[in-house]
């Protein structure tokens, strides 16, 4: 399962893809509780976050497996029509 996050200050847009098919997508609060609620009981999900915001989100997502990537090179983020502010 690939999970790409377009980070926003208050709300973030998440796309979860499994076998090249969107499994779940939508907005969530950009808080530790928001991430926990959205990911539910997933066992150590692998997250892809954009490089420009990696420092503050890495602190919030301590314990998750995080990959930092350039947003234009992450297909799930780059192709999303729903962007955050």
Query: What's the pLDDT at 27?
Result: 92
Mean pLDDT within 20-47: 82
How would CATH label the architecture of 2-78? Answer: 2-Layer Sandwich (3.30)
Give this prediction's pTM.
0.69
The band of 79, judged by pLDDT with boundaries at 50, 70 and 90, is low
Average confidence (pLDDT) over 43-55: 71
Per-domain residue ranges of the chain: 2-78
Q: What is the pLDDT of residue 49?
A: 79
pLDDT value at 85 more than 50: no
Is a pLDDT exceeding 80 seen at residue 40? no
Q: What are phi and psi of 55, to 5 degrees?
A: -65, -55
Q: For the residues 31-56, what does the mean pLDDT come to? A: 75
Q: How far is CA 40 from CA 33, 35, 55, in A?
A: 10, 8, 23
């Amino acid at each position: 399962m690939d999970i790409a996050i377009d980070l926003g200050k208050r709300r973030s847009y998440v796309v979860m893809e499994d076998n090249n098919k969107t499994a779940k997508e939508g907005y969530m609060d950009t808080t530790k509780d928001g991430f926990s609620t959205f990911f539910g009981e997933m066992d150590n999900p692998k997250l892809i976050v954009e490089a420009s915001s990696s420092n503050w989100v890495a602190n919030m997502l301590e314990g998750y497996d995080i990959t930092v990537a350039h947003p234009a090179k992450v297909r799930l983020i780059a192709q999303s029509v729903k962007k955050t502010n």
